Amino acid sequence: MFVTEDGEEVSSCPELYLNMGEILEDEDTLKNTKGNLYDFVVSRCTKISKEKLLDHRVLQAFVEWFIKFECTIEGCDDLKDVSAPGLAEYKRCPGDSVMTWKDGGYNSIVEILLNMHPLSEGPAVDLEEIVFLNCEVIEIDWSGLEALIKCANGSIHRADHVIVTVSVGVLKERHSTLFKPPLPDSKLDAIRGLGIGTVDKIYLHFPYQWWPQNCSGFSLLRKNTILSRSEVYPWENGVIGFYAESSAPKVLGAWLIGDAARDAELYTDEQILEGCYRLLRNYLGHKFVIPEPTDVLRSKWFSNPHFRGSYSFRSLTTEALKTGAKSLAKPIANFYNRELLMFAGEATHPNYYSTVHGALESGWREADNIAKKYVLSRKCSL
């Protein structure tokens, strides 16, 4: 449901949203497009609106909303930074895109890795024997025959190979101090070229479900470009909507991007609840009796020093430097021609970047590469 700040439901927007979604799924169209995704989206929205004779103010509000929405998908702050043809590299993974792992969430993945899942076979794995917790890595010295991994708690670990899985945000911020000797220029170009923005979610828990059973959520259209006086906190203007969660019937999830997301991360939970409740009442209070949310759970991807952003995207700089996922994923050999540094993570996947399955598959890829060096035949696959 698309609603404006004066409570109007705009019935023409869902069809326009579907039309734009189909266009952005057209790989051939994207490949033959030059420039950034912002110009592409605006031109296509304008063309469709003329065909459907949409009101100018409605179109303007929808374009503003869709740009923010697409930023949440791409993981960018601004669509002007995103390469339109670069988006064609992204592929959808077959299967259910919102699978909840039998309501177990990501914990199910950990259970599978530890052979603790109900469907797992073999003895359980002791996590403490294979994972060192509270050991922040501050330096990876790959100058010798082995790699020396130095941690903030003073511990040092030796390794024949290191698979680096930190985010592009961390690599951008810390590559100069994290690696000794410095990374080669080709790797630095990949780090500089790949983009990463901030996309945050705010989950609100209500005492009961007050929205219709068949309603997937509420997209907020702002006809007024100036920040509404009723929106007290600046980040409120960046909330694109509130959406239902199929596995949590009393929960609505809000999305924010860019500066608004980073700003919201600085506020207390109480202020977040206050701001979100105000938005809901302003947009939907005329139609629904909305109870106050009782709890909030939210992400803080940018302020977390171990992430510094949400997920990667293909930027115009990626194109200009002629780099990308393959360059970031390429192993680095030391002076002895031994591949000590391997790179994994969603940003290193050529097609499934920005996703959990892409991150998982990239980790298996590098583990397989190491195994092949020791003539092991067992292969991991998604």
Q: What is the pLDDT of residues 78-96, one digit of tens each?
A: 999 999 988 889 888 887 7
pLDDT computed for residue 33 by the predictor: 86
Q: What is the pLDDT of the chain when averaged over all its residues?
A: 89
Looking up residue 177, the CATH number of its domain turns out to be: 3.50.50.60
d(CA 349, CA 212) in angstroms, rounded, equals 39
243 in a structural domain:
no
13, 72: one domain? yes
- Domain end among 27, 52, 87: 87
pLDDT in tens, 86-142: 888 988 888 776 666 556 677 778 887 787 777 777 788 887 788 888 899 999 999
Task: Say if residue 15 is in the same domain as residue 81.
Answer: yes
231 is a domain residue: no
Which distant-in-sequence residues (6+ apart) come within 8 Å of 221 by Cβ? 2, 3, 4, 5, 10, 13, 58, 61, 62, 64, 65
Backbone angles phi, psi at 110, to 5 degrees: -60, -40
With respect to residue 343, please indicate whether it lies within any of the assigned structural domains: yes
Are 356 and 339 in contact, with CB atoms under 8 Å apart? no
Q: Are residues 189 and 324 in the same domain?
A: yes
Q: Are residues 146 and 71 in the same domain?
A: no
> In this structure, are 315 and 191 located in the same domain?
yes
Q: Would you place residue 203 in the very low, low, confident or very high pLDDT band (cuts 50, 70, 90)?
A: very high
| Torsion sign over Cα 282, 286, 287, 293 | positive
Domain containing residue 367: 135-196+308-373
Q: What is the pTM of this model?
A: 0.89
Q: Do the domain assignments include residue 100?
A: no
Q: Residue 348 and residue 193: Cα distance in Å, rounded?
A: 12
Residues 174 and 36 in one domain: no
- Asked if 323 and 86 count as a contact pair (C-beta separation under 8 A), the reply is no
Question: Is 56 within the bounds of a domain?
Answer: yes
| 30 located within any domain | yes
Cβ neighbours of residue 341 closer than 8 Å, sequence gap 6 or more: 140, 142, 147, 161, 162, 164, 179, 331, 332
In a domain, 129, yes or no: no
Q: Is residue 296 part of a domain?
A: no
**Number of structural domains the chain divides into:** 2
